[in-house]
Amino acid sequence: MAKSITYFAVPGLPLIHPGDDLAALIVDALKAEQLQLVSGDIVVTAQKVISKAENRYATLKDVRPSEEAQSLADQTGKDPRYIEVVLSESAEVVKHRRNILIMAHRLGFVMANAGIDQSNIEHADGEERVLLLPRDPDGSAAALKARFDTAFGADVGVIINDSFGRPWRNGVVGVALGVAGLPSLLDMIGAPDLFGRPMQVTEIAVADEIAAGASLLMGQAAEGLPVVVVRGVRFDAAARPASALVRPRERDMFR
């Protein structure tokens, strides 16, 4: 029998605000569409709605740029207040030039602007705001999983995804920032290939692959579909958080 994987975009979620019970809103939206989660399902949730519910906003008028932020602003052409917030969430400036700032986020992700964004957020009373990544994406994923498991009597997986650019490739793709209930990284070392030869170095970033597929439904602009259910993926491996996907600094040959 041919294998198949199904992706369902979940409609009907309202705009998310700080303090909202995101898990309850997702459960309500699923039930409104008569979508019953079953064991093995994976719920992919956009990072932005997690960050909004967790009130990960910063208002730029309240930010006082440091000398480092001002220097980077002069070199990149970006708002020094924005850069100060980026620096506060980062461990290292990896690369920069005009209009580009690549950072090593404090959680280990190497990404543009430490993942801090101004798109698809409300700017109340004309005040410019930015949205930061969740403080603990794996923890946020685990909390959602516990709520979904209870609501549906199932054992589900959760992925929190975001869009990353990539070295040597144009365009952004969805990647996993937080994972619970499934292996984020699948170790294939020692497994036989088609001709019985043991694999030597292969690891599969399965959570990133699932996240990228969900991004096709979520979109990048005004689609308003931040939750996708994935059905049909099966793993014979222990769960691993998204932190397993972050390559240690000492093994990074490109920085």
CATH class of segment(s) 6-55+134-245? alpha beta
pTM over 0.75: yes
pLDDT in 10s for each residue of the chain, 255 residues: 458 999 999 999 999 999 999 999 999 999 999 999 999 999 999 999 999 999 999 999 999 999 999 999 999 999 999 999 999 999 999 999 999 999 999 999 999 999 998 887 777 777 899 999 999 999 999 999 999 999 999 999 999 999 999 888 999 999 999 999 999 999 887 788 888 888 887 889 999 999 999 999 998 666 689 999 999 999 889 999 999 999 988 888 887
- In contact, 106 and 90? CB cutoff 8 Å: yes
Domain span(s) for CATH 3.30.1330.100 in the chain: 6-55+134-245
In this structure, which topology does domain 57-131 adopt according to CATH? CofE-like fold (3.90.1660)
CA distance 130 to 121: 8
CA distance 240 to 176: 12
Give the distance from CA 104 to its chain's centroid. Answer: 15
131 three-class SS: strand
Domain span(s) for CATH 3.90.1660.10 in the chain: 57-131
